[in-house]
Amino acid sequence: MLVEKFCMDGRLDEAKKLTKDVKKNESEAMDVVSYSKMIQSFAKAGDFDIPRKLLDEMVQSGITPFAVPFTPLVQRLCLCCLEAVWGQGF
């Protein structure tokens, strides 16, 4: 998925734009897999705002999330907590 590649390369602005473009294109309906990959990609890149918004949007549209999108969010949040407590990067 191109969004995932952009996130891995640190090109979050391009990934955000592509996410908006995908959602606008009605011929490409968002499903649980699409949302999950986007949530995972942004979370792994260290962005928490977009994954939270995507998760809210996913639930509001009637799509039930499964555990996969939560894993990178929880991992990243744990790392941020450790960094705050010990003041160093992990």
Digit-coded pLDDT (tens) for 6-23: 777 888 888 888 877 877
Contact 26/63 with Cβ under 8 angstroms? no
Quote the CATH superfamily of domain 2-86.
Answer: Tetratricopeptide repeat domain (1.25.40.10)
> What's this model's pTM, rounded to 2 decimal places?
0.66
Q: pLDDT-derived band of residue 26, with 50, 70 and 90 as boundaries? A: low
Distances in whole angstroms, Cα of residue 46 to Cα of each of 41, 60, 61, 84: 9, 24, 25, 15
The pLDDT of residue 29? 66
- The fraction of the chain above a pLDDT of 70, given in percent, is 86
- Mean pLDDT score of the chain, rounded to an integer? 77
